[in-house]
Structures are given as structure tokens and as C-alpha cells.
Structure 1
Amino acid sequence: MAGKIPDLEVMARTGTGKGAARSARREGLVPGVVYGGGAEPQAIAIPFNILLKKLKDGGFMSTLFNLKIEGQEDVRCVCRGVQRDVVKDLPTHLDLLRLKRDSRINMNIHVEFINMETCVGLKAGGTFNAVRPEIELVVTAGDIPEQIVVDVENMEIGDSISISDVTLPEGTRPVITDRDFVIANVSAPSALKSDDEDETEEGTTEEGAEEAPAAEDAAEE
């Protein structure tokens, strides 16, 4: 099931070129352009503070947005570039790409791990490691899954779940296809690991102690 796509509200900008862009910045706006999707490019602007916050929140470049421009039909878009000031590192221009509903794009999809409270390995004292809390998938713009669900109830200490173990929504596939990467695992408790290491070290010392007399006997003969 597709999740809710966040809105990105921008305004149509009149005029193009450096002069119009400088004028927009003086008004506290970041100029930009929307292109692609079988339509003509359109000059836009977005309030500087709003864009800066979205950039600081993270994931802006990999998020699918519902683009809203007053007086126009909503379209879906992704960011394809943010130009920044070379000194202050603040956004100065925004490039957005329109998408058709059947467009295929790469998106990071959240992984929801369920049945953690009944996980066999965790109940035995193991530690759960979410190696990939997000998976980059090739998806259709009109049908983006809200999340990927992974059941960890039967995982025991030492077990791992790879991408091949997960049933992905129809029409999606991993971007990485050349290897079966791990999504999560359950590792042994740190105390148990320390005990195992101590036993290994002690075993090595004892073997050395047993071999020493044999070496002395050989020398006496």
C-alpha cells in the first residue's frame, strides 16, 4: 500500500535569469525550476527557511513529494539538485523533476521489524542489529510502498535476515542486485562472547603447558 506522500508547496515565479533570481533571494526566497514529465520547464520559488529546514531534516534528495503550486494541478516530483553558496553553504537554487505515475525511480523505503517482543534470540539474551533500517528499491511513482515489513519472531542467536528472505511488494525490486545483502541479525550477548574468548585463551595455555614436559623429555633422551 502506498504511503502518504508529503506536500512540497512552492510558488510560481515570474521572470527568469540572474536578475529575477537575485530579486527572489532578496525577498527571502530560493529560486528554482521544475522540469520533465512531458511539460515545459517552470520557474518557481520556495521560502528560504522552509527549504533550509527540509534540508536539515535529511532525506530531501531521496523523498518523493506532492508538488503544490497555486492554481495548478498537483504533480509528483523529486529533487534533482540543490545549488549552494560556496562560502556560506546555504541553498541558492533548487531543481525539481516532475514524475508521471508510471515513472520508475529509486527510493529509500523504511523497514518495519515486527514481533520484536517475542523474538526467540532476544528472549535468550541476544542483541538485535538493524543493519539496514531502510532499503533502496526501484519503485513506481504511482505506487510507492509505505514500508517493508520483516517478521523477526523466529530469529535465534546467530541468525540473520537477507534481502532474499523478504517478500517485496509487487512491482518493486532492490537497487542492489549483485549480492544478497543482510538486513538484520541477532548477535550473542557481549558477556557470552567474552566467556567464549576466555575459554579459547585458557585452552591454548593448557595445551602449551602439556606440551612443555614432552619437549624436556625429548631433550633428556
Structure 2
Amino acid sequence: MDLVRLNLEKRDAVGKEACGRLRRSGYIPAVLYGPDYREAVSVQVKAEDFLPNIRGTHWNTLKFDAVLPDGSSEMCIIRDMNRNYVSDDVLHVDFYQLVKGHKVSVKVPIEIVGKETCAGVKAGGLLEQRILDIEINVLPREIPENVVLNVESMNVGDSITLADLDLPESAEMDKDPSEIVVEVVHGKAASSEEVSEEEEEAAEEMA
């Protein structure tokens, strides 16, 4: 995944009113912190530069090549992003420094492909995705944009667990690997028919 170039400018504005004025001038208040920082650095980023990069993407896994106020650069990700609950405007961003050789925790989306041609769905089954994303500890250079699962060959009764995910070599997760990510279950119609058949057989045995 390519790095997104982004300029982080020095921010003097602090407090609710000052940050409000900053937003009205076209900037988003932010901070940068990480393993090499004793304390968070207050920065600001132009909304017109930042917002297009997060629209329609999973911003959790975006990696930035951030140019700092002193001219140096830092690789980082978005650790947190505060939004206005009504307008959905971005109010504040937390950038987290990525350090070579140091694993970082990221939430990676799980993307399902092959839904329309899934064998089990064609046979009347229902495809159910139980887990939408997975949090992993991984080296910065191996942060994946997403985890792709192809369900085309799944039949009714089949399932894919966390252990089946194709994760980067350095990735570690805290969840139980036997947890089901996606499965193909019997459709309602099929289930009803099975129940009816079982009831009919039971009635015949009692007769």
C-alpha cells in the first residue's frame, strides 16, 4: 500500500474556541505522538488535503508520509478521529508514529468477494458474515489495506474461521482463531422444509 503524502503544520491554537476558528479557516486540529515522542505534538492539517484521502476508504489502515513543521518526515497512521455527530465533519485527528521494527495495533477490515457467485447461495443458502474487521499487531511495512476472503466455492454448511485468514507474516491477533468469520447457512425456505419433514416423520412414528 502506497504512502499518502501529507503536510502537518505547527499548531498554536488550543482550546475549544481557538480550534473552532481554526476549523472555520479550513484546517483540522491534530496531534502526533508515538514511541519516539515524550509527549504529543500539536499540529494542524489542511482539510482540503486530508479529507479526500479518507473518503470511501478504511482510514484505519492508511499510512501517511507526514512532512513535519521542521521539514523532517514521519511515517504514521490515524489512531483516532473525532467527528461531529450531526454533520459528520472531522473535528480532530490523532496521528500515531510508525517505527521500523516496532509492531503496531491496527483494525483491518475483512472484505468478502464472490458473494454473487457463491455455490452455497446459489443452492438456496444464506451467506452470513459474523466478523467485519480484525485487530492485529503487525509490523508497519506489512500493514494490509484489508483482508480479502473469496467465498465463491463455499457450500451450505461451510465456514471460514479467523485461522483461515491470509494475514501478513508478522501479524498477531488476540482473538480465538476458531471464531467463525463467515458461513453459509440453510436458507429459511430450506430450513422450513427440513423442519416439516422431521415433524412429518415424527408424526408417522407416533401413528
Fold match, TM over 0.5? yes
Q: Give the AA of the match of 2:32.
A: V
Name the CA shift for 1:69/1:23 in 2 (closer, same or farther; >3 Å). Answer: farther
Q: Where does residue 214 of structure 1 map in the other structure?
A: none
1:78 match = 77
Rounded Cα–Cα distance in structure 2 between residues aligned with 1:83 and 1:117: 36
* CA–CA separation in structure 1 for the residues paired with 2:85 and 2:193: 54
Q: Partners in 2 of 1:132 and 1:168 — Cα distance?
A: 15
Query: 1:150 and 1:4, CA in 2 relative to 1: closer, same or farther beyond 3 A?
Result: same
Tell me the SS of whatever aligns to 2:141.
Answer: coil
3-state SS, counterpart of residue 100 of structure 2: coil
**Residue type matched to 2:181 in 1?**
I
CA apart distance, 1:29: 1.9
Structure 2 residue 112 is the aligned partner of structure 1 residue 106? no
For structure 1, which runs of at least 5 residues remain unmatched after alignment?
211-221
User: Which has the greater radius of gyration?
Assistant: 1
Structure 2 equivalent of residue 165 of structure 1: 164
Following superposition of structure 1 onto structure 2, how do residues 25-104 of structure 1 map, counting pairs within 5 Å?
A: 25-39=23-37, 41-48=40-47, 59-60=58-59, 62-69=60-67, 72-82=71-81, 91-104=90-103
Q: Deviations over 1:1-47 (max 9, x none)?
A: xx334x26343125354486455234232222212242574332123
AA matched with 1:9: L
Deviations 1:61-88 (A, max 9, x none): x334314337734422233444567998
Question: Any stretches of 5+ residues in structure 2 without a counterpart?
Answer: none
Q: 1:84 to 1:159 in 2, by over 3 A?
A: closer
Report the more deviating stretch, 167-176 or 125-134. 125-134
Q: What TM-score do the two structures reach when normalised by structure 1?
A: 0.67
In structure 2, the residue matched to 1:202 is 200
Which residue is equivalent to 1:15? 12
Asked if 1:190 corresponds to 2:188, the answer is yes
Higher alpha-carbon deviation: 35-44 or 118-127: 118-127
* Shift, 1:100, TM fit: 0.7
Q: Equivalent residue of 2:8, what SS? A: strand
Aligned to 1:127: 126
Aligned residues of 1:106 and 1:175 also touching (Cα < 8 A): no
Change (3 A) 1:100 1:197: same
Q: What is the alpha-carbon root mean square deviation over aligned residues? A: 3.9
Counterpart amino acid of residue 172 in structure 1: A
Note the C-alpha offset of 1:198: 1.5
Contact 1:4 1:146 in 2 (8 A): no
SS of match in other structure, 2:142: coil
Q: Which amino acid aligns with 1:168?
A: L
Q: Which amino acid aligns with 2:25?
A: E
Q: How far is the alpha carbon of 1:163 from its aligned partner?
A: 1.9
* Contact 2:161/2:177 (8 A) holds in 1: no
Amino acid at match of 1:65: K
Give me the identity figure in percent: 27
8 A Cα contact 2:6 2:50, kept in partner:
no
Report the Cα distance in structure 1 between the residues aligned to 2:95 and 2:198, rounded to whole angstroms: 58
